[in-house]
Amino acid sequence: MASLAQRPLRTMSKRHGIGVRATEDPNTVYIRNSANTYYYGDLFLGTPKQKFSVLFDTGSSKLWVPGVYCKSPACFQHNRFHPKMSSAFQNLYRNDSITYGTGKINGMLGSDTVYIGGISLYNQKFIYTTEQDSNFELPGSCFDGILGLSFNGDPSIDDTSPISSITKQRKLQRNVFGIQLSDGDKSYGRITFGRVDDSLYKGKMYWFPVVEKGSWKLMMDDINYEKPNIKSCTEFIKKNRALENKQSQNKSGNLDKPVHALIDSGTSFILGKWEVINKLNHEIGADINTGFISCSKINTLGMLIINIQGILFKLSSKEYIYHNKITNTCQSALIPKRDLSYWVLGNSFMGKLYSVFDFDNHKIGLGKDLNY
């Protein structure tokens, strides 16, 4: 997770419980859409089980939930973990903290049984917070904590991440998970553990190697804005490499060289190099200081094209412009960052894809969502 919030535009919706949704697959977890920005689902901690709503985050590696001893206002509106109420809890007598782009959490490290769908992780380490920054945007948010779906550094020595526990405890037939997001506030997407669900995408699944073990980063070649033409629907195509090379001689891209890009379900938007993002926002007509753009322009805009190793992903304006229906304002989902050494492709990019993360073979699969 690069950041919980990138622009101060959103008003978080009121807290909702997910409830139980029927599924034939116990390793499928349904995740609820909050205003097309965050996606959160349920897990359980302890014996007996204590329920928490968590954001499933491919950009971080640790699990944390608010603790009963947390005195920060951000904790009071959420479910809090009670160590003394779980017979399986073990206090590890260590402090731990996590810093995100918008704030920091501090807490104690413990271990307990964690239940994610039909998966039971025994002696799973997690943080139960004692302090959460007031600017962390958790007060009034839809989720209690965060479940990291990346590794904590080198996978061979990682002993804290849930993904590492899933691997070491041999919980799945295949060490993969897939994420299908949904479109529309309060609608449901899903996370599938242990298999690639071929019913959730159409066409070909394109696989890309990760650029460093322990992180869901791949190599991105370029990102460009294409002015509107007759064809305006969202596309997902593989371009003929020979034709692409020929065209690249006549058209310069925005990136001088390929860059690392994190596929991040914990970030709402697309974060990238300051100069490039400002150029793209200028081309689409958004204010380069605030990102605001007239909502009346959305249907007149062209495609944002992201080139990942020769595969072109085309995003329509409805994907790279965020429409806040509460305030009826619109903002670009392209966020300039000066301090990031890599790009972040968040939910604006993942929204129309079924994204698969293979942590045995260290690769990411991207296929077009069957619903689009």
Per-residue pLDDT tens over the stretch 194-221 = 999 999 999 999 999 999 888 999 999 9
Tens-place pLDDT, residues 258-275: 999 999 999 999 999 999
Phi, psi of 118 (to 5 degrees): -90, 10
Euclidean distance between CA atoms 295 and 67, whole angstroms: 41
Tens-place pLDDT, residues 67-104: 999 999 889 889 999 999 999 999 999 999 998 877 79
The tokens for 168 are 């070491």
Confidence of residue 246 (pLDDT cuts 50, 70, 90): very low
Answer yes or no: are the C-beta atoms of 194 and 163 closer than 8 Å.
Answer: no
What pTM did the predictor assign?
0.87
Active site residues: 57, 264
Task: Spell out the domain ranges in the chain.
Answer: 28-193, 198-369
| CATH label, 198-369, candidates 1.10.10.350, 3.40.50.620, 2.40.70.10, 2.60.40.10 | 2.40.70.10
Q: Tell me, yes or no, if the two domains 28-193 and 198-369 fold the same way.
A: yes
Confidence of residue 141 (pLDDT cuts 50, 70, 90): confident
Give me the pLDDT at residue 291, please. 96
The tally of CA atoms less than 13 A away on the side-chain side of residue 194 is 14
Tens-place pLDDT, residues 318-363: 999 999 888 999 999 999 999 889 999 999 999 999 999 999 999 9
Answer yes or no: are the C-beta atoms of 160 and 125 closer than 8 Å.
Answer: yes
Comparing C-alpha atoms, which of 299, 259, 265 is closest to residue 277?
259
Confidence of residue 2 (pLDDT cuts 50, 70, 90): low
**Strand arrangement of the beta sheet that strand 311-315 belongs to:** 222-226, 303-308, 311-315, 236-238
For the chain, the average pLDDT equals 86
Give me the pLDDT at residue 185, please. 66
Give me the pLDDT at residue 28, please. 94
Residue 286: pLDDT above 90? yes
Answer yes or no: are the C-beta atoms of 134 and 74 closer than 8 Å.
Answer: yes
Q: What is the mean pLDDT of residues 245-254?
A: 54
Listed in sequence order, the residues at least 6 apart from 345 whose beta carbon sits closer than 8 Å to its beta carbon are: 220, 261, 262, 263, 264, 270, 306
Give me the pLDDT at residue 12, please. 32
Give me the pLDDT at residue 324, please. 87
The tokens for 221 are 């070649």
- Determine what percent of the chain is predicted with pLDDT higher than 90: 69
Q: What is the mean pLDDT of residues 26-43?
A: 88
Assigned CATH topology for domain 28-193: Cathepsin D, subunit A; domain 1 (2.40.70)
Count Cβ atoms within 10 A of the Cβ of residue 297 and give its class: 0-12 exposed, 13-18 middle, 19 or more buried.
Answer: middle
Give me the pLDDT at residue 325, please. 83
